[in-house]
Amino acid sequence: MKILVIGSGGREHALVWKLAQSPHATQMWCVPGNAGIAQEHLAKNGAAVQCVNIGAEDLPGLLAFAQEKKVDFTVVGPDNPLALGIVDLFQANDLKIWGVNQKAAQFESSKVFSQKFMEKYGIPTAAAGTFSDAMAAKRFTATLGGKCVVKADGLALGKGVLICVNQAESEKAVDEIMVGKAFGAAGSRVVIQEFLEGAEVSLHALCDGRTAKIFPTSQDHKRALDGDLGLNTGGMGTYSPTPFLTDAQLAGTARQILEPFMRGCVAEGIDYRGLLYPGVMLTKNGPKILEFNARFGDPETQVYLTRLENDLVELLDASASGTLDKIELKWKPASSVCVVMASGGYPGNYPKGKVITGLDAANALPHTKVFHAGTVLKDGQIVTNGGRVLGVTALGGDLKSAQAAAYAVVDKIRFDGAHFRRDIAAKALRQKTGG
């Protein structure tokens, strides 16, 4: 099978790495890819994965490439091409593709759509209102005592969510988003949710239009600095599984979310084939959905795919074909920890082009994998090329040994200004030991 993967981050490196292990994969391209992806080879025939410089949002360019190379199966990583309708375009041209179609992508591209859907189909979420009028929005924040979260409706590079502790702050947030248009057209409507407290976990479920299969739990670390301080980022590290939900609780939570979700999709004529990634707050009143994403999380993918035992080509093919009910997901009974190494300054401004050393020594260690996010090959050297540079991932018999293994790898890798958190999975370990 000739496979095309779209995207260039740690998520896409993990997807390529896992797809390349499948005996079904005979040739593989990644657009635009990165330096780590270009080092991958297929298990079946040793062929190198080829990176091709086409943008992930260049839909006509991607279609022309897939047609020219007679690609059998395309896998989409990031949200933007999904929201732009790449799946609909490929399907209209008789090309098999994995990812949600444009209608289903609305769960991520419109928070107002998601909030209304959750309320209509009884999916547990925060008490909330949706508004296109700033005055009405402010009156609603007052009913919550100003303690709330104001969210721009559309895609805003993960920045359109403002947490407010009093009425003055919430009015300022409404003005920034709706009047000042801080996030452009994404802010012409807002969702305002009550502020929820609890442990936040990431759930992933693979869907095929009728069946949804839940993954084990994972947890991201969104803030830039240790102790959950500093600015919000795209994610500084993950681990799986978490101690915050037992298997039985996870199964119960999955039922509470996925059954009404799939039922609602069928009722609304949404053919949801792809990944559903709800962000969930485990409150004292039960789990509540904060938002839906319609693709794999990054860096969650890196911990999930190092634990997954199934053939990923077969799994994604079943998701696209509507045959997931015939497949059982299998996971290594191990823990996985991913520590993101970022450029100094991220998520603000950061330099590029810093030489990365130690990768060979890191790659020689067992049960570990260094996924590349923002890297590029320049004059024969791998250099930094983005905010998040590497996702250093390790498996262990338990969380503590996986964490130790991941940091042992991190300590072998160097680049100027490298920044990473020292406390990935630390909260979970404290919870486990009751500390």
Cβ at position 266, least distance to ligand AMP in Å: 25
CA angle 8, 13, 16 (to 5 degrees): 110
Cβ-based nearer residue to ligand AMP, 402 or 428 = 428
Cβ at position 196, least distance to ligand AMP in Å: 4
Say how far apart CA 215 and CA 238 lie, in whole Å: 14
As a residue count, the chain comes to 435
- Which sign, positive or negative, has the C-alpha torsion 111, 112, 114, 118? positive
Cβ-based nearer residue to ligand AMP, 154 or 216 = 154
What are the tokens at 156? Answer: 């805003």
Say how far apart CA 189 and CA 78 lie, in whole Å: 23
Q: Are strands 50-51 and 27-32 parallel, antiparallel or unpaired?
A: parallel
Cβ at position 195, least distance to ligand AMP in Å: 5
Which residues share a beta bridge with 32?
7
Please list, in sequence order, all residues whose beta carbon lies within 8 angstroms of the beta carbon of residue 2, skipping any fewer than 6 positions away.
26, 27, 28, 69, 70, 71, 72, 73
Q: What are the C-alpha distances in Å from 375 to residues 28, 29, 72?
A: 19, 17, 28
Cβ-based nearer residue to ligand AMP, 27 or 193 = 193
Cβ at position 126, least distance to ligand AMP in Å: 4
Q: Are strands 388-396 and 199-202 parallel, antiparallel or unpaired?
A: unpaired
Cβ at position 108, least distance to ligand AMP in Å: 10
- When CB distances to ligand AMP are compared, the closest residue is 291
Cβ-based nearer residue to ligand AMP, 193 or 375 = 193
Cβ at position 140, least distance to ligand AMP in Å: 14
Cβ-based nearer residue to ligand AMP, 157 or 185 = 157
Cβ at position 129, least distance to ligand AMP in Å: 12
Query: Is residue 325 a contact partner of residue 206, using CB atoms and an 8 Å limit?
Result: no
Cβ-based nearer residue to ligand AMP, 152 or 206 = 152
Cβ at position 115, least distance to ligand AMP in Å: 10
Say how far apart CA 68 and CA 411 lie, in whole Å: 44
What are the tokens at 362? Answer: 């890191």
- Going by C-alpha positions, the residue among 243, 207, 224 that lies closest to residue 318 is 207
Say how far apart CA 109 and CA 116 lie, in whole Å: 13
What are the tokens at 203? Answer: 């759930």
Say how far apart CA 394 and CA 380 lie, in whole Å: 27
Cβ-based nearer residue to ligand AMP, 40 or 298 = 298
What are the tokens at 354? Answer: 């810093």
Enumerate helices (H) and strands (E) in the chain, giving the number of each.
Answer: 14, 23
Residue type, 118: M
Cβ at position 276, least distance to ligand AMP in Å: 14
Cβ at position 11, least distance to ligand AMP in Å: 17
Cβ-based nearer residue to ligand AMP, 249 or 283 = 283
Cβ-based nearer residue to ligand AMP, 208 or 291 = 291
Which residues share a beta bridge with 131?
190
Three-class SS of residue 110?
coil
Cβ at position 251, least distance to ligand AMP in Å: 23
Three-class SS of residue 390?
strand
Cβ-based nearer residue to ligand AMP, 72 or 291 = 291
Cβ-based nearer residue to ligand AMP, 227 or 397 = 227
Cβ at position 119, least distance to ligand AMP in Å: 14
Binding site for ligand AMP (CB under 6 A): 126, 149, 151, 161, 193, 195-196, 200, 222, 279, 290-291
Cβ-based nearer residue to ligand AMP, 192 or 254 = 192
The strand ranges marked E within 97-250 are 97-98, 128-131, 148-152, 161-164, 190-194, 199-202, 205-208, 212-214, 219-220, 223-225, 229-232, 237-240
Helix orientation angle between 111-120 and 102-109, rounded to the nearest 10 degrees: 100
